[in-house]
Amino acid sequence: MTDLTELTATRLLDGYRKGEFSPEDATRAALDRAERIQPEVNAFVRLLPDEALARARDSAERWRRGEPTGVLDGVPVTVKDIILLRGSPTLKGSRTVVPGGRQDEDAPSVARLREAGAVFIGKTTTPEFGWKGVTDSPAHGVTRNPHDPSRTAGGSSGGAAAAVALGAGPLALGTDGGGSVRIPAAFCGIFALKPTYGRVPLYPASAFGTLAHVGPMTRDAADAALMLDVIGVPDARDWSALDGAPGSFAAALGGGVRGLRVGYSPSLGGQVAVRPAVAAAVRRAVERLAGLGAYVEEADPDFTDPVDAFHTLWFSGAARVTERLGPAQRALLDPGLREIRAAGARMSALNYLAAVDVRMELGRRMGRFHERYDLLVTPTLPITAFEAGAEVPKGSGLRRWTGWTPFTYPFNLTQQPAATVPVGTDGDGLPVGLQIVAARHRDALVLRAAHALYEAGFTAGGS
């Protein structure tokens, strides 16, 4: 028998079309899997079985009539608990958020998924207000890695990544302000895309400003393209949203990489110490891109680590998101979040504008890089998943999560599209991710190159 939890959204839709199984079958399977994994992995804040099964039954009836309401009709989806989902409180991993909360409105991406017939099975875990690159919070505990529960799933969209990796829905909505879809996707062995800023509208606006993107987290690039076609349309509530894309992302997947100019930067010019097993897996995938016809050469983007500027913007956002909390509420915060919010509160407008200057210069340099290269390829992370419940690897000497994510946050500063593709495992069986970056607005090219690697056989298990 077919295990429906192992199928991509594309394959589920094909099965619905052929009458092999129904949206109700797929939703029950996803919910059952979610319930089984929850005690060990802790991917969910809450499951929504009654609502999900009701939507799945309606979808099944539409498919029986041959009248699906949209391109994702009946596909199980999870939503990170920092994104509004009508009828479900958004707690943001914080004990300072009133549980009743706001439940009368969908975020733009959720609204588009609802219109397309998607089935929402639950809300996934996040660190408090999405502030760090791992997923644990005072409100909801530690989210663990599907490949080794003693390790972290990464973050801040860690619950979403774990859910997809373990078959609790093939599609997930995550957010990414410094790597937060790419980090957990890399650690958990799935695909994730941080689209160009504004490609997926965001409402309410993030306290972290224009660093924050909404993106798809999926089993492969084809599912992400299908999802982006649905969620990547304008919404009047986001004044910074882009116009609709000129064509379908899913339809543009098949172009391959032949003739593309790829700059491969294994360590950002020696700035990053990458573990040998990670470097080897990424290099094998880069060699495959060359074998598929891409023109590949080692080339480093012309910038030094912008972490200080990123911290200025990020810590200021942390101060903003916690600004209205009184002393008693602040005492309930994650200790690390308390530290960075205090640092952010001490920063001036001049500090902030100086960081914006760094950001603009970084964007200029990456613009020049992409005059020479269609794509930049790097490791997604220099390491694989470390112990759960810690912000940084034990014994690393690092202070903050940005110390081990130097490949991800620069491209939030520049607002470029960036994806992670699983390209193998290390000696402990933990997934390794490869990052693909393109110039702003070239999301379709990122997806196309990622799809070529999937077509060539790359997965978290190797190639």
Q: Say which residues have a Cβ less than 8 Å from residue 250's Cβ, sequence separation at least 6.
A: 222, 225, 226, 229
- Among the listed residues 22, 59, 80, 109, the single catalytic one is 80
Burial class (CB in 10 A: 0-12, 13-18, 19+), 292: middle
Q: Give me 320's structure tokens.
A: 């903003």
Residue-range domain boundaries for the chain: 8-308+339-455
pLDDT of residue 98: 85
pLDDT at 462 over 90: no
pLDDT per position as a tens digit, 312-348? 999 999 999 999 999 999 999 999 999 999 999 999 9
Measured between alpha carbons, how far is residue 250 from residues 355, 399, 440 in Å? 36, 41, 18
Residue carrying the six token digits 């093939």: 170
Q: What are phi and psi of 55, to 5 degrees?
A: -65, -35
Q: Give me 47's structure tokens.
A: 């499951």
pLDDT of residue 386: 98
Distance (Å, whole) CA 24 – CA 179: 34
Residue type, 14: D
- Among the listed residues 94, 109, 157, 180, the single catalytic one is 180
Q: Say which residues have a Cβ less than 8 Å from residue 37's Cβ, sequence separation at least 6.
A: 43, 146, 162, 163, 166, 168
Mean pLDDT over 93-103 rounds to: 85
pLDDT at 158 over 80: yes
Q: SS3 for 132?
A: coil
pLDDT per position as a tens digit, 345-386? 999 999 999 999 999 999 999 999 999 999 999 999 999 999
pLDDT of residue 459: 85
pLDDT of residue 204: 96
Maximum CA extent, the chain: 62
DSSP string, 252-279: TGGG-STT-EEEE-SSTTTTS---HHHH
Q: Say which residues have a Cβ less than 8 Å from residue 360's Cβ, sequence separation at least 6.
A: none
Mean pLDDT over 90-114 rounds to: 92
C-beta atoms surrounding 307 within 10 Å: 17
pLDDT of residue 18: 97
Mean pLDDT over 219-224 rounds to: 98
pLDDT of residue 101: 65
pTM (two decimals): 0.98
Confidence tier at 413 by pLDDT (50, 70, 90)? very high
pLDDT of residue 99: 82
DSSP secondary structure code for residue 243 in this structure: P
Residue carrying the six token digits 């530290």: 339
Distance (Å, whole) CA 390 – CA 43: 17
Mean pLDDT over 24-46 rounds to: 98
409, 156 contact by CB (below 8 A): no
Q: What is the mean pLDDT of the chain?
A: 97
Q: Give the 3-state secondary structure percentages of the chain, helix then strand then coil, rounded to 5.
A: 40, 15, 45
pLDDT of residue 103: 87
Confidence tier at 395 by pLDDT (50, 70, 90)? very high
Q: Say which residues have a Cβ less than 8 Å from residue 69's Cβ, sequence separation at least 6.
A: 59, 62, 115, 116, 117
Query: Catalytic residue at 132?
Result: no
pLDDT of residue 35: 98
pLDDT at 299 over 90: yes
pLDDT at 257 over 90: yes
Burial class (CB in 10 A: 0-12, 13-18, 19+), 234: middle
What percentage of the chain carries pLDDT values higher than 70? 99
Query: Catalytic residue at 80?
Result: yes
Going by CATH, does the domain composed of 8-308+339-455 fall within 3.90.1300.10? Answer: yes
Mean pLDDT over 192-216 rounds to: 97
Query: Catalytic residue at 156?
Result: yes
Tell me the torsion sign for CA atoms 296, 302, 307, 309.
Answer: negative
- Among the listed residues 22, 59, 109, 156, the single catalytic one is 156
Residue carrying the six token digits 């933990």: 430
Residue type, 369: F
Q: Give me 441's structure tokens.
A: 């607005």
pLDDT of residue 463: 74
